[in-house]
Structure 1
Amino acid sequence: MWDTVLIVDWSGGNDRGASPKKDAIWTGVARAGQAEDPVYHRNRQLAEAWIIQFLTDEHAAGRRVLAGFDFAFGYPAGFGRVLTGSDDPFAIWDWFAAHVQDSPKANNRFDLAGQINARFPGIGPFWGNGLARDIPDLPRKGLARHGHGIAEKRAAEQQAKGAFAVWQLSGAGAVGSQVIMGLPVLARLRQRFGADLAVWPFEPLTPPIALVEVWPSLIAKTIAATCPPGAIKDAHQVRVLAQAISALAPEDLARMLDAPGGTAEGAILGLGHVALLEQAARAPVLRNDCFALPQGVHWTPVDQALAHLRQHLPPVAGVQPQPLAAAAGQYLAQDVTALRAHPPSPNAAVDGYGFAGPAGTGAQRLTLVQGRSAAGQPYDGTIRAGQAIRILTGADLPDGVDTVVMQEDVQATDTAITFQGPLKRGANARAAGEDMAAGQIIARQGRRLTPADLGMCAAAGIGQLLVYRPLRVGILSTGDELRDPGSTIAQGQIFDANRPMLAALVHQWGHQAVDLGRAPDNRSILRGMLDQAAATCDVILTSGGASAGDEDHMSALLAGTGSLALWRVAMKPGRPLAMGLWGGRPVLGLPGNPVAAMVCALVFAHPALALMAGGDWPEPQGFTLPAAFAKTKKAGRREYLRARIRDGKAEVFASEGSGRVSGLAWAEGLVMLPDAAMTITPGDPVTYLPFGSFR
């Protein structure tokens, strides 16, 4: 939706000097989750000039900008009618632009607030005279106000816990001065950029520049937790908030901007969606060198390559609340805590009769009380010593009952039961919370939710979960020789087997596959396709062009970003893997041969995508079988053979060629041969990895 996010931390005070300081003006810029260093502005005049130039440059470069300012864009209802005769928030902006006098060392905000107060009945609404001299109609204390008729807070401040009112002009929490000194700047931005600028939530955000109101304290915990020792909080928070907003999925940001229209008070971006914003703020951002292997490594062992991915890849998917019934297969974005004990009360594990145990040896006779306890229909009474009550499976144990005898072991009449003891106390009864206790963590962040997990969460009273949005994985094939299956084909051309195969794998792994089509051997066209993919996908998975030849354009383009890592992995099939970033999105470049592409996808893309989707690192579960084949291999590389099980033994496909795609359909898994040299004869133990273990 926007290419650039600008966050402005404003100030209502005077010039702060040349050295960066707190409580000053700071700006932060981020694109695609990558934040630049914050910029310090010593006064409003320099800051306004910088903002104008920045927006002008971004607009000239064809980039859409979402600019967030940390002060209120409006006042509580009714203020505008008294001040300007209109509820139009822009009339208030223009009024302040016409009346505020501002210089680096002085401004008239206190006198102006007193003049505004004089228009209202009673005393107020502004307060907080910060000058030594008294100002008519401007009290120093908020408690001195009365009868002015305007609400203390906007609806946004009432919803945002800890937000201060717009009336306070000095002292701790004095945001009122920021508003008075900030609205004239916004008014001048509207005048300068005209139809190229819109303001949320007052106008549709179709122009290339959007102004929104932000409040960094919505994610105060994350800002505090991530602020380096000795750092200036104001500088850190503009960086974190800009990075978080720019990293949001387009649909998540659209949801935040879907505020109720028609309010002249304004709204705070992210209010009501704090969990999404927090998660985006906490999500680690991929570094440009995240795929770079240690210097001097010529052939990278498989285990070392996997360890590198496991260490360097964070989640890149956004988060969303999800109803329990729709959460299967998604990854948890936070730990799940039981809202209720399970079972919530002591209950019967069988159909039978409840009493106060234990029961002694030999024949036992108990008086049977009238009534029964059934699931959902508990007995409202107390069972005394020597008494028993009819009870059904799952029913709450009545007061006085701690033991249940099975009905199959009982002789019953209308008034009594008899059975043979002994029977220990607590037999056939479940204790409250013996399965799950209220407040207990029952599922950890990163777990991929199964049907059983949903049942457990339901039993614990949980109706909604915070999950990672399904990872959008773009699938792109490269090469002039490729054509879509079913199309007309010429000599020298082949059908693209990789794209449908990789898309099916990605779907099988629980992600959303996005078909990016085929890219010819043309760098300009490929660049445009990658730009489009980076705007719509979380990860880009390509096949072909991953080596270092003349027609390996994928590697060449990634090299131009400064993020290319061309891995020469010591494995067969496979070897060349191109890793890098494009527009802040990770790119995994697989070999072009179908067998190598699939094997590398299983070995590397499967766990890497799971991590980036917010999940735990998945280890394929293999088992040892006797070989039904013979083979000799050299040391120094790991080999994966297409295989299947017949008669309890692992047999392998007749050919090891990377182009023999039929062998993938023939196989049901892979035999993994370790890096060391080995000679295999029929009957020797080998490791078999079924394809199902990669799901």
Structure 2
Amino acid sequence: MISVEEARRRILEGLSATPAETVPLAMGWNRILARPVRSRVTQPPADVSAMDGYAVRAAEALEGARLTVIGVAPAGHPFAGTVGPGEAVRIFTGAFVPPGADAILLQEDAAAGDGQVRVTETVRPGRWIRARGLDFATGEELLPAGKRLTARDIGLAAAANHAWLAVHRAPRIGILATGDEIALPGDPIPEGGIVSSNAHALAALVRASGGDPLVLPIAPDDREAIAAAAVAARACDMLVTTGGASVGDHDLVQAALGPQGFALDFWQIAMRPGKPLIWGRLGATPVLGLPGNPVSAMVCAVLFLIPAIARLSGLPGEPPRTIRALAGAPLAANDRRFDHLRATLATGADGQPVATPFPQQDSSMLKVLSRAEGLILRAPLAPALPAGAAVEVIPLGDLGI
């Protein structure tokens, strides 16, 4: 068995980003830039007013001075003339500052009437003017390649006059659940069988991680059926199987894929839940074989599939973020496998996070997983800890799953 860190390293080192595609700006959210975004315009394109008021010459806009109003400059309609000695132009937020003016007299600091404006508070040069190029200039790199685009980034790209963006194609992830005993939700449940949850849970996780899931029909415990389904998924950027990864007579994923050219990299990780995990390639297609137990499958997906999708999307593929918390209950000494305890998260009296493990940690208990807010990390051979001891936790809410 290999460690969690070694498994993640070997999975990521064999993956590369998907090709670039061009998408409309509105479809760029949460995608990974394949090429930098450089501005096509200067913003603002000229000196503009930051407030409603009067464009003036600061040297003359002294308290008590009276200036003649010679025109109006709304946003989008620049004043055509020049502000000369003793003159002012009524101006509104976002309007170009007319030539000759070097400050804005706030309307709150002015008294207007009879075509004139009286200054009630002295104005400093440059006051309330946003200089040309204050935000960015033509040709400036605004967003680097490899960045996951936020709504704020979309706004910046729009302001930089980009209607289209070059992003990495969303990775296509084939999901194949195996087993005679499972049925899709809503379908007849076979005698002695259960409803399959893994494929749907993994599809949701793939979407949350920026991938494009392809849920394949359930494959029975039959080598030919598993092989046919896997071969059909070769067009995907990765194939994820669930079930059939252990050593039982009906755990057939490796046996079914071997004759199709499957090359195994590793099998079995020193972790709980999720020991029986397969990683290899079917031709050029990476294959991640997850355990059939639903909690094991999801914990493995958090640790390995989410970083893999990130790497395929054009990101480095970092491990899940961890936080430091206090144990909300005593923790038993751990054995030789890295443990991931499902836990709730709360804020303690001193403001620190408190992670309390559920009393039952069976890898089949989806209700516990659904209610869990974090995974307490317990290293191999970690000693027993009392309540209140410091622990490392993966907060599941960060992952959007």
Same-fold status (TM-score > 0.5) = yes
Alpha carbon RMSD of aligned pairs, Å? 2.4
Quote the residue 2:105 is aligned against.
405
CA displacement, residues 63-120 of structure 1 (integer Å, 9 cap, x when unaligned): xxxxxxxxxxxxxxxxxxxxxxxxxxxxxxxxxxxxxxxxxxxxxxxxxxxxxxxxxx
CA displacement, residues 235-273 of structure 1 (integer Å, 9 cap, x when unaligned): xxxxxxxxxxxxxxxxxxxxxxxxxxxxxxxxxxxxxxx
Instruction: Confirm whether residue 552 of structure 1 aligns to residue 224 of structure 2.
Output: no
Quote the residue 1:660 is aligned against.
365
Contact 1:668 1:690 (8 Å CA) reproduced = yes
Deviation at 1:618?
4.7
Quick one: which of 132, 136, 152 aligns to 1:432?
132
CA distance in 2 between partners of 1:469 and 1:652 (Å):
38
Quote the residue 1:313 is aligned against.
15
Contact 2:302 2:320 (8 Å CA) reproduced = no
1:575-586 pair list within 5 angstroms: 575-586=275-286
Deviation at 1:635?
6.5
Deviation at 1:658?
0.8
Contact 1:337 1:440 (8 Å CA) reproduced = yes
Quick one: which of 231, 238, 241 aligns to 1:539?
238
Quote the residue 1:416 is aligned against.
117
Are residues 439 and 525 of structure 1, via their aligned partners in 2, closer, same or farther at CA, if it must alter by over 3 Å?
same
CA distance in 2 between partners of 1:456 and 1:616 (Å):
24
For residue 218 of structure 2, give the secondary structure of its aligned residue in structure 1: strand
Q: Which residue type is aligned with residue 238 of structure 2?
A: V
Contact 1:333 1:468 (8 Å CA) reproduced = yes
Are residues 598 and 359 of structure 1, via their aligned partners in 2, closer, same or farther at CA, if it must alter by over 3 Å?
farther
Deviation at 1:345?
1.7
CA distance in 1 between partners of 2:131 and 2:79 (Å):
17
Deviation at 1:559?
4.5
1:134-533 pair list within 5 angstroms: 298-300=1-3, 302-315=4-17, 317-357=18-58, 363=63, 365-413=65-113, 414-421=115-122, 423-533=123-233
Q: Which residue type is aligned with residue 392 of structure 1?
A: F
- Richer in helix (by share): 1
Aligned length: 393
Are residues 520 and 381 of structure 1, via their aligned partners in 2, closer, same or farther at CA, if it must alter by over 3 Å?
same
Are residues 401 and 672 of structure 1, via their aligned partners in 2, closer, same or farther at CA, if it must alter by over 3 Å?
farther
CA displacement, residues 629-678 of structure 1 (integer Å, 9 cap, x when unaligned): 21023365432221222454322222111111211112133223345614
- Richer in strand (by share): 2
Are residues 552 and 401 of structure 1, via their aligned partners in 2, closer, same or farther at CA, if it must alter by over 3 Å?
farther
Deviation at 1:338?
1.0
CA distance in 1 between partners of 2:279 and 2:233 (Å):
16
Quick one: which of 624, 627, 644 aligns to 2:324?
624
Contact 1:558 1:564 (8 Å CA) reproduced = no
Deviation at 1:542?
1.1
1:86-101 pair list within 5 angstroms: none
CA distance in 2 between partners of 1:356 and 1:305 (Å):
68
Query: Percentage identity across aligned positions?
Result: 37
CA distance in 1 between partners of 2:92 and 2:379 (Å):
57
Contact 2:41 2:138 (8 Å CA) reproduced = yes
Deviation at 1:473?
1.2
Quote the residue 1:257 is aligned against.
none
CA distance in 2 between partners of 1:533 and 1:545 (Å):
17
Deviation at 1:607?
1.2
Are residues 498 and 379 of structure 1, via their aligned partners in 2, closer, same or farther at CA, if it must alter by over 3 Å?
same
CA displacement, residues 603-637 of structure 1 (integer Å, 9 cap, x when unaligned): 11001012112344355344333321210233654
Deviation at 1:598?
0.3
Quote the residue 2:344 is aligned against.
644
CA distance in 2 between partners of 1:673 and 1:386 (Å):
76
CA distance in 1 between partners of 2:284 and 2:328 (Å):
47
Deviation at 1:402?
3.0
For residue 506 of structure 1, give the secondary structure of its aligned residue in structure 2: helix
CA displacement, residues 180-210 of structure 1 (integer Å, 9 cap, x when unaligned): xxxxxxxxxxxxxxxxxxxxxxxxxxxxxxx
Are residues 308 and 433 of structure 1, via their aligned partners in 2, closer, same or farther at CA, if it must alter by over 3 Å?
farther
CA distance in 2 between partners of 1:676 and 1:436 (Å):
54
For residue 563 of structure 1, give the secondary structure of its aligned residue in structure 2: strand
CA distance in 1 between partners of 2:59 and 2:324 (Å):
50
Deviation at 1:314?
0.4
CA distance in 2 between partners of 1:655 and 1:690 (Å):
19
CA distance in 2 between partners of 1:405 and 1:349 (Å):
11
Deviation at 1:590?
0.9
Are residues 558 and 343 of structure 1, via their aligned partners in 2, closer, same or farther at CA, if it must alter by over 3 Å?
farther
CA distance in 2 between partners of 1:529 and 1:381 (Å):
74
Are residues 603 and 357 of structure 1, via their aligned partners in 2, closer, same or farther at CA, if it must alter by over 3 Å?
farther
Are residues 510 and 384 of structure 1, via their aligned partners in 2, closer, same or farther at CA, if it must alter by over 3 Å?
same
Are residues 549 and 396 of structure 1, via their aligned partners in 2, closer, same or farther at CA, if it must alter by over 3 Å?
same
Deviation at 1:476?
0.6
TM-score by length of 2: 0.89
CA distance in 1 between partners of 2:118 and 2:165 (Å):
48
Are residues 495 and 380 of structure 1, via their aligned partners in 2, closer, same or farther at CA, if it must alter by over 3 Å?
same
Are residues 352 and 491 of structure 1, via their aligned partners in 2, closer, same or farther at CA, if it must alter by over 3 Å?
same
Structure 1 gap ranges (5+): 1-297
CA distance in 1 between partners of 2:219 and 2:30 (Å):
32
After TM superposition, which residue ranges in structure 1, 4 or more long, deviate above 6 angstroms?
none
Contact 1:359 1:424 (8 Å CA) reproduced = no
Contact 1:531 1:583 (8 Å CA) reproduced = no
Q: Which residue type is aligned with residue 160 of structure 2?
A: A
Are residues 346 and 506 of structure 1, via their aligned partners in 2, closer, same or farther at CA, if it must alter by over 3 Å?
same
Quote the residue 1:671 is aligned against.
376
Are residues 487 and 681 of structure 1, via their aligned partners in 2, closer, same or farther at CA, if it must alter by over 3 Å?
same
Instruction: Confirm whether residue 605 of structure 1 aligns to residue 339 of structure 2.
Output: no
Contact 2:181 2:190 (8 Å CA) reproduced = no
Structure number with bigger Rg: 1
For residue 632 of structure 1, give the secondary structure of its aligned residue in structure 2: coil
CA distance in 2 between partners of 1:671 and 1:637 (Å):
14
CA distance in 2 between partners of 1:428 and 1:307 (Å):
53
Are residues 305 and 399 of structure 1, via their aligned partners in 2, closer, same or farther at CA, if it must alter by over 3 Å?
farther
CA distance in 2 between partners of 1:597 and 1:375 (Å):
57
For residue 225 of structure 2, give the secondary structure of its aligned residue in structure 1: helix
Are residues 676 and 396 of structure 1, via their aligned partners in 2, closer, same or farther at CA, if it must alter by over 3 Å?
farther
